[in-house]
Structure 1
Amino acid sequence: MATIKDIAKLAGVSVTTVSKVINNYPDISDKTKEKVIKIMEQQNYRPNAIARSLSTSRSRSIGVFFTDHLNSGLRHPFFRDIIYGIEKTFFRKGYDLILFAHQWGDRFSYTEKCKSRHVDGAILMGMPRTDPNLDKLVNSNIPTVFIDLDIVGKNATYVISDNVQGAKQAVNYLYSLGHIKIGMIMGQRITKPAQDRLIGFQEELTNLGLEYNPEWIIEAEFGEEGGYQAMKRIITQEIRPSAVFCQGDEMAIGAINAIKEHGYNVPQDFSIVGFDNIEISSYVSPGLTTIHQDKLTMGKKAASILLEMINNPNKTFSPVVLPTKLIERESCRKIG
């Protein structure tokens, strides 16, 4: 097994330089960092976390919290891709991840979990803003980055997709195909993405002079079953929209299943747009037109910001809003 001396020798630098790269010191050039990190990866070198924590007062571990309200764990395509981006970034810096999953409504103290596991920082995703335990974490001295939740504090910031603009892209696209009766299946309003996508949906309908019909807006759980049940309610209405924007791809897949079960067709009878661009959206039939959000970049960006926060405790960090884009497939048709 390679040692730090072996890494230094292969990289042509001192042991001190390798140590500074491992601990992310700012006085090492990017070129040297990349060279040392590449050799560490080639040699499968992992710094001794126990010895390093004794010398730096850091555990070199990060707490990653996610709310698993669908009991899907790491199989959930949204969490999976983000966590992969987080892990990929921290692995290169010699950090370990500790994953914490819980259900909405659980008695769960993020601050106490972080302190008991001695993590250097935390990343949280999937939490409703109404969670009473968030404020305690934000007001602690634990560096924290939220994903999909716009919370800031002395030691906290966030990374989020431009959900408002993404919803506007979906509505505008459907309008360009001739649809003027547009409904929406939305997630729970206590989540930030659901709120923002509703705002974007409403604003774009207004901008285009289209009708906002509350009966065509169905709130449901993010997931296939939520989309399935919501679409059943839309199908049974006397006056129905010709197109439906679903706030998540899994919702959209559930909606398509409901449409087929009721003897209708996508896109001939209903045009469907999703949101997320999860992997399966390109394999369902018909292929799902959706709003892409870069989940891998979200994870990488959250991890990079958290590393900077850990190493620069007195610096203020601005939120990051990532752009979205429309991915056109076969689930929508031109009408009129």
Structure 2
Amino acid sequence: MITIKDIARLAGVSITTVSKVINNYPDIGQETREKVIRIMKKYNYSPNAIARSLSTSKSNSIGVFIHYHPSRGLHQFFFHEILFGLETNLGKRGYDFVYFSDLKWKRSCNYLAKCLNRHIDGAILMGISVDDNLYELLQSNIPVVLLDLNLTGPNATYITSDNVSGAKKAVKHLKELGHQDIGMIGGLKDTFPTKTRSEGFFAETKRNGLTVRDEWIIYTSYNEEGGYRAMTRMLKSRELPTAVFCHSDMIAIGAIKAIKDSGYSVPDDFSVIGFDDVEVSTYINPGLTTVRQDSYSMGNQAANLLKSMMENPGARVEPIVLPVDLIIRESCKKIL
């Protein structure tokens, strides 16, 4: 919850000055008055809020931001394990979670205002794209941990999986199986996982002299529908790859369905590799070969990072890059 002290700090004036503006004292200059009022409106400050919470108190609440998007919202399996890891760690320490729904957001969210108004002790951000309002939060005194977004601040750090290494492992595996022509179905271009997984894919295919055609590189949404659309489009190419690396398991599952609906077979006609190792990957037919990132550990270690920053204000906390593993199942086949 934002306090009168926060308004004073943001406006660069004293608490007394803010109080005088609130109570319409005549001895405040018009420019100062307008500045304070503008900041109060921006952060939805209610003067009565101070009566409900002391500015120095702890709320024992953690703010969780998950950007709602058809391909990267709370409904995605990947986030479930992360939230479980967060809850297991911080819940045992007496923290509650405040989930900030962005269904009412338009192009951006005023992260700092939401955090101040709810008086949270720290924030976790997942599936978030970069915008100006995000930098405002990262420069504040609120401890922040970002997942899969490599930004830092005075009280902000991040945790991510080794996406570059994971993509390289996928390409290396396909190369060892004899594949020379490999396509890629990437996620949303503006996201950090897409950029880094693409980086690893292109680096490894180039290093091994593998064929990659422009029509075999398609970016889409991180869901089954996106994978289905992208694979259907790839199948219309004059020449086809023998294998496809997908940036998520859900993309891969959609791609496999498109392959089957077009009369082809996995892995006889196309080998497919995913990324994430969500639980359903074990149960589809064929079982999905994929790059496993430990989403529970990501949530658990994000909680440790946040706890460290909350308990040691101003202390530098280094980002964490988690290792990944290739999980081999039945969706890839050795070719001659």
* TM-score with structure 2 setting the length: 0.82
Q: Report the equivalent of 2:120.
A: 119
Task: Please give the root-mean-square deviation of Cα atoms over the aligned residues, in Å.
Answer: 1.6
Alignment partner of 1:266: what SS? coil
In structure 1, C-alpha distance between the alignment counterparts of 2:85 and 2:181, rounded to whole Å: 38
In structure 2, C-alpha distance between the alignment counterparts of 1:204 and 1:72, rounded to whole Å: 27
In structure 1, C-alpha distance between the alignment counterparts of 2:227 and 2:213, rounded to whole Å: 18
Alignment partner of 1:62: what SS? strand
In structure 2, C-alpha distance between the alignment counterparts of 1:72 and 1:219, rounded to whole Å: 14
- Larger mean CA deviation between 150-159 and 207-216 belongs to 207-216
Q: Report the equivalent of 1:191.
A: 191
Deviation per residue, 1:65-122 (Å, 9 max, x gap):
0112017854321111101111111111100011123268544111111011100000
In structure 1, C-alpha distance between the alignment counterparts of 2:129 and 2:189, rounded to whole Å: 9
Pick closer, same or farther for the CA change 1:54–1:93 going to 2, 3 Å.
Answer: farther
In structure 2, C-alpha distance between the alignment counterparts of 1:216 and 1:328, rounded to whole Å: 23
Q: Report the equivalent of 2:331.
A: 331
Q: CA deviation at 1:207?
A: 1.2
What amino acid is the match of 2:246?
A: C
Paired positions, count: 283
Pick closer, same or farther for the CA change 1:177–1:71 going to 2, 3 Å.
Answer: closer
Residues 91-240 of structure 1 aligned to structure 2 (within 5 Å): 91-102=91-102, 105-129=106-130, 131-240=131-240
**1:59 equivalent in alignment to 2:64:** no
Alignment partner of 1:133: what SS? helix
In structure 2, C-alpha distance between the alignment counterparts of 1:58 and 1:208, rounded to whole Å: 55
Deviation per residue, 1:189-237 (Å, 9 max, x gap):
1100000000000000111111232211001011000000000011111
What amino acid is the match of 2:232?
A: K
Q: Contact 1:249–1:281 (CA<8 Å) still a contact in 2? A: yes
Pick closer, same or farther for the CA change 1:102–1:54 going to 2, 3 Å.
Answer: closer
Q: Report the equivalent of 1:89.
A: 89
In structure 2, C-alpha distance between the alignment counterparts of 1:73 and 1:127, rounded to whole Å: 10
Deviation per residue, 1:15-54 (Å, 9 max, x gap):
xxxxxxxxxxxxxxxxxxxxxxxxxxxxxxxxxxxxxx87
Q: CA deviation at 1:128?
A: 1.6
Alignment partner of 2:335: what SS? coil
Deviation per residue, 1:245-298 (Å, 9 max, x gap):
000000000000101111110000110000000010000010000000000000
Alignment partner of 2:101: what SS? strand
Q: Report the equivalent of 2:246.
A: 246
Structure with greater Cα Rg: 2
What amino acid is the match of 1:109?
A: N
Structure 1 segments unaligned to the other structure (5+ residues): 1-52
Deviation per residue, 1:133-183 (Å, 9 max, x gap):
211111111110000000011110000000000000000000000001000
What amino acid is the match of 2:167?
A: A
**1:301 equivalent in alignment to 2:301:** yes
In structure 2, C-alpha distance between the alignment counterparts of 1:326 and 1:132, rounded to whole Å: 36
Q: Contact 1:73–1:101 (CA<8 Å) still a contact in 2? A: no
* TM-score with structure 1 setting the length: 0.82
Q: Contact 2:71–2:222 (CA<8 Å) still a contact in 1? A: no
Pick closer, same or farther for the CA change 1:208–1:73 going to 2, 3 Å.
Answer: closer
What amino acid is the match of 2:124?
A: I
Q: Report the equivalent of 1:46.
A: none
Structure 2 segments unaligned to the other structure (5+ residues): 1-52
What amino acid is the match of 1:145?
A: V
Alignment partner of 2:237: what SS? coil
Q: Report the equivalent of 1:5.
A: none
Q: Report the equivalent of 1:290.
A: 290
In structure 2, C-alpha distance between the alignment counterparts of 1:71 and 1:217, rounded to whole Å: 19
